[in-house]
Structure 1
Amino acid sequence: MVQQYQSPVRVYKHPFEMVMAAYEKRFPTCEMIPVFVGCDILSDVESEDKATHVVERRCKLNVDAPRLLKRMVGFDYIYFVQKNALNRKERSLKISAHNESFSSRVLVNETCQYTVHPDNPNWTCFEQTASMEIKSFFGFESTVEKIAMKQYTANIKKGKEIIEYYLNELQTNGVKYIPTWAEENPHLVASQSSSNSTVSTASNTLMEDLTETSATDKLEEDYIEHILGVLQPIEESKLIQLRKWLADTHNGKIPRDDHILRFLRSRDFHFEKAKEFLCQSLSWRKQHQVDRILSNWKAPETLEKYYIGGWHHYGTDHRPIYVLRLGQMDTKGLLKSVGEEQILRHVIYIMEQGLQKCRESSVLRNKPMSSWTCLLDLEGLNMRHLWRPGVQALLRIIEVIEANYPETMARLLIVRSPRVFPVLWTLISPFIDEKTSSKFMMYTGTDYLECGGLVDYIPTEFIPDFLGGVSKCDIPEGGPVPKSLYKTEWEKGDGVALWEDTIYKSANVLKGAPHEVLVEVPERDCVITWDFDSVKGDVTFTLFHSTHPLGKSTLSTHNAYCHVINNAGCIEEDTHMTLGKDYTIMEAGIVCREGESVQGSHIARKPGSYVLQWKYHGGQPQSSTVQDVLYQVTHNPKSKVIYYHELLPSENFRGSMTSLESCQSAFSALSHVTTSS
């Protein structure tokens, strides 16, 4: 395996000649580099006009390695060969180094160069590249690699400190300025004779081996620190490598540096993983024209009015804050009125706004800012929000955000989570990256207003009023989405609201012939959930529990534990079963009017057979004319429902069973208002 390192451009705000004088003080030994024991000069060639000077040294290093490892491989010191090619006329120093010890097992190559800053002749730039390949090392390859990288990064950090130290020492000793070669040799400046301008063959070879790159393609160390934040040397190297690869493969068109850095961080600075991850996202952005969304897209009026979220001031760390009141949002109504694609696009729009606000905050505060805080209020969250298409849409949104906006959320502050939250978390947590989920902070009750709560991240004057603060939050009030805004795309065939890949089933409920679904519960504390709409007529929903096994001969398999009972086999009309003895009503009949929706759940305290029943609910005829009687004789009254149900294993909810009690078989406040609209 080959390890690569590429440094950013380090800038010394001193002339090249002063930096060279400081650099020479490192030899033959340097107290500030304890691993550098000493060096021997192998060759020293200087041109007659002193314009070029090439020195080759054999350096002795005392590597900080375990004593046992040193004894096993039989070494105390490591030897490197270093060649310095100084060109005073062009004001540049090019350095190459390679290991002499264990060169058949480990290959280390390093190149460095000091040059004049392209924009300021009184400043000096330093760059460094290195590679290390471990072929074999007595079975200690991994250990040697870790030791080498640790030693190397430590020396990188020390390098700048040492040069700065000797620069200060020179100035303290009265050396403020050193003339350039051109100033010392004005009579030779105009002459371009080969004898006075040619470096030795060895020097030429070295310089040809060093690839020159455009200054505009390079990142300066100060830029990284002030614009992107403090990075470790290896992290800086990965950023520069990925940036260069993108420039080479994308015709010079590369994303912002902070964007590249987010993808590297999300993959722990693993170059190949980050490269693949970023390229997929760049293709996605191009395909969906995401870079133009802030200027070219406007949210539908329904989203602007009923999507209860918005930006709200800045946190204590000056990060933008986004407030989302998911518990109060009519997610089902939004999906039916604008569709999943528009909601997803709206979320992408919000994410792009967040990136823009981070950049604005960085400029305003003169501090790197690449992520924001999200305040999530879950008050009002109920089984209605667990409507399967809604959960599927949420999972898709999470998938898109995870794939294209990594490391954009500094923290997620969750407040007022209701008792149904464990169900939702069980459904979505497998799709959330572990690093992302570690940023979730949940507050129960009202402790979020105390020390250690929201005040740690949000200034007291900016805590929203609906959470007990004093700041008015400028976000939509929301509410139930009127059914008049629902799109007709949801209707298929005879008006049953289904998706192409729907998990919902439809059933006709005839008068006198209820539709029933059998759910076999294998153990106590499983959770039965249901979600249904009455798309035609009115129905009454009831949940039964039978102490006796129901006849499997009349059932058609639905899944491992769920079966559909033949409509002719109504549990209430079975002459062999008695209410209160053979079966009991677990959830009293709920009347669902045409066009209404019902979501609910029940904790099965006993194993056995549970029956979900939908019964036709019809009132008395308004008149008894001959025509009405004839119609009733020739037309069998019926209703139609679409439904989905699920049995959730108890192991997913052990320890939180009582938290689900509030969800049992009733209209939530939001669903009740919605169905009445």
Structure 2
Amino acid sequence: MVQSYQSPVRVYKYPFELVMEAYVRRFPKCDMIPIMAGTDILKETTSKDGAVNQISRRCRLHVEAPYLLKKIMGVEFIHFIQTNTLDRRNRTLKIDAYNESFSSRVVIKEHCTYSVHPENSEWTCFEQTASLDIKSFFGFESTVEKIAMKQYSQNISKGKEIIEHFITELKKEGVTYIPRWVEPQPEQTEDEENSKVESEVESSSEETEKRDRTSSTPSTGSRELQLGASATNILSMDAVTLNDENNKLDADYIKRCLGDLTPLQESRLIQLKKWVAELQKGKVPSDTCLLRFLRARDFNIEKAREMLSHSLIWRKKNQVDKMMNEYQVPSVVQEYFPGGWHHHDKECRPLYLLRLGQMDVKGLVKSVGEEGLLKHTLHICEEGLRLTEEATLTYGRPITTWTLLVDLEGLNMRHLWRPGIRTLLKIIEIVEANYPETMSCVLIIRAPRVFPILWTLVSTFIDETTRSKFLFYGGNDYQGPGGLIDYMPKENIPHILGGECKTVVHEAGLVPKSMYLPGEEMDAARQHLPMSDQSIYRSVSLGRGQVHEMVLLIEEAGSVICWDFDVMKNDVSFSVLRTKVPITHRPEPQSPTGAMGVIDAVMGSDDLHRSVIEKGWREGHEYFRVEPQLICHDGESIQGSHVTSHMGTYILQWRYYESTQHTSPLDIIDSITAPKAKIMYYYETLKSADYRGSMTSLQSCQSGFSSLSSNTNKSANSSCPSR
């Protein structure tokens, strides 16, 4: 595989001619480059007018490799051929180099360019590209590749330092300015020559004044690039022309706006930027966005490119940018979602406070739906990116992540509601894939004993790098040394956590059932995002005498049937049944027609709402009631599970319930006018092996959580399981 490198544009704030004078001082040998043993000039040519000078050198480099590899190579030096072409007229220096040693096994090519800054003629730009292709090397291909890239990276880092060093040496010698090359003139008369001298003096004076004015102007480096940290703008930037200039990054800009990157990391960023520009036809994500995807994949450009490509497709397919621009926080979320932005941490990163222990997960899911929670989560992520962008501008240094503070006081078993957990896992999956490397750390405080169970369920869906950012505090440990005071300014610690700062994040409380969405509206509210191509809940209406059943085929004794449902209107009875003879096929329902069809429907005799239990079957003989019948009233929420003792057919049965029996001839009219019962339900079946595995993981989660807690440098007594 060919390894490639492309540097950002490095700017020397000195004239081209002065930089060239500093550059030639590194030959034939430079003490600041220990790897260079020396150079020999092979050939030198100069054009007739003296404008172009070309020198070819053979460079000897020390072999810095393990002893065994040196013995196999059998050489003391590695030779490179370097050709420098200096064009004084156009003020450029082009450097081409390739390896002479082991050229049949390894191919190394390098190209460098010194040129005049496009916006300031008194500055000099430097760019560098290189490639490494190891075809074969005695079975040490991987080792040689790592050594070569490491050594090359170190030499790149020293490049600017060496030029600066020799310019300082020139200044000590009194050399601060070297005149530009001028075209040679033909012989002239004495009067013409005197006139030319006067003209040159005036021109030199004007040029000096211009240079002084330029040097006194505050420098901005090369053109400022848009920060654009917000992923909402990921594809909405103004189109740019596809050329090399737009894919270049200034090294000073990288340090100022993106942070300290190694030369190879800078190269990966530039390569990814170029690839995305070609893919998106000129509309490219921001540099901070590209950097996040690179960091998420440890700067492996192929993996980062694949991850970014999937994210761009996801955003386009689901019109995420349009959705976020039009998003309005629902009133129920404003009132009952216990989370909000709360100042910043000690590193000036935005901080989000989430009182998860006070959240009514079930109420929020049933009032805004799964998609509603996802939209709000994406809204928080987008806000976080916008706030980091503002913080970068405010504090004048790169701030690309935000901090999450999670208060778990109040967390209990109701938060382990399985549909809520499933929704949470899907949201985590989407956020991990499309908003990588956005959080600096996650501070979990006041974690109760039930938290290890939740962490066991959730942690496997979180990327390993992200998991390493979690810090856990049990009880009041967060108030002592190593707690919040290490991560937040004292004046920003919320009053609910013992600080002095008031917070707008409230306890929220339970969402009233009156705010729950009906089943049809919950289905209609779905935006067909990948999170829920199929809704968790189903809804059904039951008239008098009607029944609704879910027939489950259990293939292994010990499997667990779980259910959760809400009675949205009127009353129903709920039963769990088992048949003696397995039911492998339920007859297709026949839709009633005509007047009799209407009567059949309201009287409960239609096939759709008819029980699979035959009329002649007797309880205790052909079928069995494995759970006591429950009478569920309007507004109640029911959750439960049953561990099966037999294989075969099990039935979850809901039936319209009325406390009094009607036998008069007017029952038909009453049935037509009587309001229907309505339920929203969810169920699933866990296989025996999966269930036992889940229980094992839950039973062992304390030891796992203790090891996690140890990462916070806390004593064993402060870990959550001990409380």
TM-score normalised by the chain length of structure 1: 0.77
- SS of 1:649's partner is helix
Partner residue of 1:349 out of 364, 379, 402:
379
Cα deviation digits, residues 13-33 of structure 1 (max 9, x gap): 111111111111111011111
* Distance (Å, rounded) in 2 between the aligned partners of 1:319 and 1:269: 23
Tell me which residue corresponds to 1:18.
18
- Partner residue of 2:501 out of 471, 479, 494: 471
CA-to-aligned-CA distance 1:309-329 (integer Å, 9 cap, x gap) = 111100011110111223322
- Residues 504 and 423 of structure 1: CA distance in aligned 2, closer, same or farther (over 3 Å): farther
What 5-or-longer segments of structure 1 have no aligned partner? 191-211, 544-549, 559-563, 576-582, 661-677
Counterparts of 1:209-220 in structure 2 under 5 Å?
A: 214-220=244-250
Name the CA distance, whole Å, in 2 between partners of 1:345 and 1:91. 55
Q: CA deviation at 1:145?
A: 0.6
Q: What amino acid maps onto 1:532 in structure 2? A: F
Distance across 2 between alignment mates of 1:535 and 1:180: 86
Indicate conservation of the 8 Å contact 1:54/1:84, yes or no.
yes
Q: Secondary structure at the match of 1:132?
A: strand
Residue 483 of structure 2 is matched in structure 1 by: 453
Cα distance, 1:43 vs. partner?
0.4
Kindly state the Cα deviation for residue 268 of structure 1 after the two structures are TM-superposed: 1.3
Q: Which amino acid aligns with 2:566?
A: D
Q: What's the counterpart of residue 369 of structure 1?
A: 399
Shift, 1:523, TM fit: 12
Looking at structure 1, the residues matched to 246 and 368 of structure 2 have their Cα atoms a distance apart, in angstroms, of 46
| 1:649 and 2:691 aligned | yes
Q: In the aligned structure 2, how far is the partner of 1:315 from the partner of 1:116?
A: 43
Cα deviation for residue 521 of structure 1 reads 14
Q: 1:170 to 1:616 in 2, by over 3 A?
A: same
* In the alignment, structure 1 residue 271 sits paired with structure 2 residue 301: yes
Whether the 8 Å contact between 1:305 and 1:477 is mirrored in structure 2 is no
Is contact 1:540–1:617 with CA below 8 Å preserved after alignment? yes
Q: Does 1:147 align with 2:177?
A: no
- The CA deviation at 1:510 is 12
C-alpha deviation, 1:399, in angstroms: 2.2
Aligned letter for 1:172? Answer: K
2:286 to 239, 252, 256: 256
TM-score (norm: length of structure 2): 0.73
Partners of 1:178 and 1:419 lie apart in 2 by 74
Change (3 A) 1:167 1:184: farther
Alpha-carbon distance in structure 2 between the residues aligned to 1:63 and 1:332? 65
Does the 8 A contact of 2:544 with 2:657 survive in 1? no
The reply to whether residue 438 of structure 1 matches residue 468 of structure 2 is: yes
The one-letter amino acid paired with 2:110 is E
Q: Is the 8 A contact 1:227 1:368 kept in 2?
A: yes
CA distance in structure 2 between the aligned counterparts of 1:531 and 1:264, rounded to whole angstroms: 42
**Does the aligned pair in 2 maintain the 1:530–1:644 contact within 8 Å?**
yes
How far the C-alpha of 1:434 sits from its partner, in A, is 1.7
More moved, 59-68 vs 286-295? 286-295
The whole-number CA distance in structure 2 between the counterparts of 1:630 and 1:83 is: 102
**Matches of 2:407 and 2:614 in 1, distance apart?**
43
Which residue number in structure 1 is paired with residue 423 of structure 2? 393
Tell me whether 380-389 or 88-97 shows the greater mean CA deviation. Answer: 380-389
1:72-471 equivalences in 2 (<5 Å): 72-182=72-182, 214-292=244-322, 295-471=325-501
Per-residue CA shift, 1:213-240, capped at 9, x if unaligned?
6544311111111100111111100111
Match of 2:637 among 597, 607, 628: 597
1:51-78: CA deviations, max 9, x gaps? 2110000111112011211211322211
Structure 2: distance between partners of 1:422 and 1:517: 34
The CA distance in 2 between the partners of 1:625 and 1:217, in whole Å, is 80
Name whichever of 473-482 and 104-113 sits farther off: 473-482
Given that 1:336 and 1:490 are in contact with CA atoms closer than 8 Å, whether structure 2 keeps it comes out as no
**Structure 1: how far apart are the matches of 2:662 and 2:115?**
104
Describe the superposition over 1:647-677 as per-residue Cα deviations: whole angstroms up to 9, x where unpaired: 56344444854999xxxxxxxxxxxxxxxxx
Task: From the superposition, tell whether residues 380 and 171 of structure 1 become closer, same or farther in structure 2 (CA, over 3 Å).
Answer: same
User: Structure 2 vs 1, CA of residues 627 and 657 (structure 1 numbering), >3 Å: closer, same or farther?
Assistant: farther
Q: Distance in 1 between matches of 2:117 and 2:654?
A: 84
Give the corresponding residue for 2:565.
532
Provide the C-alpha distance between the structure 2 equivalents of 1:383 and 1:226, rounded to a whole number of angstroms. 48
Q: Secondary structure of the residue that 1:431 maps to in structure 2?
A: coil
Change (3 A) 1:655 1:406: closer
Question: 1:18·1:167 contact (CA, 8 Å) conserved in 2?
Answer: yes
State how far apart, in whole Å, the 2-side matches of 1:296 and 1:630 are. 51
Q: Give the direction of change, closer, same or farther, for the CA distance of 1:292–1:359 in structure 2 (3 Å limit).
A: farther
Post-superposition CA distance 1:275-306 (Å, at most 9, x none): 22212222333344444556433222222222
Give 1:378 shift.
2.7
Letter in 2 for 1:157: S
- Post-superposition Cα deviations, 1:222-276, rounded to whole Å, max 9, x if no partner, equal 1111100111111100111111222233232211110111111111111122122
> Would the alpha carbon gap of residues 658 and 400 (structure 1) be closer, same or farther in structure 2, given more than 3 Å must change?
closer
Percent identity of equivalent pairs: 50
- Post-superposition CA distance 1:71-92 (Å, at most 9, x none): 1132221100000001122211
Match of 1:579 in 2: none
1:104 Cα deviation after fit: 0.8
Q: Secondary structure at the match of 2:26?
A: coil
Following superposition, the deviation at residue 42 of structure 1 comes to 0.6
SS at match of 1:231: coil
- 2:30 match: secondary structure: coil
Query: Residue 182 of structure 2: SS of its match in structure 1?
Result: helix
Q: Secondary structure at the match of 2:457?
A: helix
Kept in 2, the 8 Å contact 1:509–1:615? The answer is no
Alpha-carbon distance change, 551 to 82 in structure 1, aligned in 2, over 3 angstroms: closer
The residue aligned with 2:716 is none
SS at match of 1:410: strand
> Residues 502 and 298 (structure 1 numbering): CA distance in 2 closer, same or farther, change over 3 Å?
closer
Query: Structure 2: which amino acid aligns with 1:375?
Result: L
The question of whether the paired residues in 2 share the 8 Å contact of 1:533 and 1:597 is answered with yes
* C-alpha distance in structure 2 between counterparts of 1:568 and 1:652, whole Å: 40
Mapped partners of 1:83, 1:299: distance in 2: 63
Q: Is the 8 A contact 2:49 2:184 kept in 1?
A: no
Partners of 1:243 and 1:260 within 8 A in 2: yes
Task: Quickly say closer, same or farther: Cα 1:163–1:227, change in 2 above 3 A.
Answer: same
What is the CA-CA distance between 1:165 and the residue it aligns to?
1.0
Aligned to 1:4: 4
* Superimposed CA distance per residue, residues 127-154 of structure 1 (whole angstroms, 9 cap, x where no aligned partner): 1000011111111111111111111111
1:398 Cα deviation after fit: 1.6
Partner letter of residue 245 of structure 1? W
- Alpha carbons 1:516, 1:565 under 8 Å: kept: no
Work out whether residues 426 and 652 of structure 1, in 8 Å CA contact, stay in contact via their aligned partners in 2: no
Q: 1:535 to 1:363 in 2, by over 3 A?
A: closer
Equivalent residue pairs, number: 610
Indicate how the Cα distance of structure 1 residues 226 and 184 shifts in structure 2: closer, same or farther if over 3 A, else same.
Answer: farther
- Deviation string, structure 1 residues 619-653 (Cα, Å, up to 9, x no partner): 976xx99979999xx99xx9987453655634444
Structure 1 residue matching 2:304: 3-state secondary structure: helix
Moved more, 369-378 or 107-116: 369-378
How far apart are 1:557 and its partner, in Å?
Answer: 9.2
SS in 2 for 1:334: helix
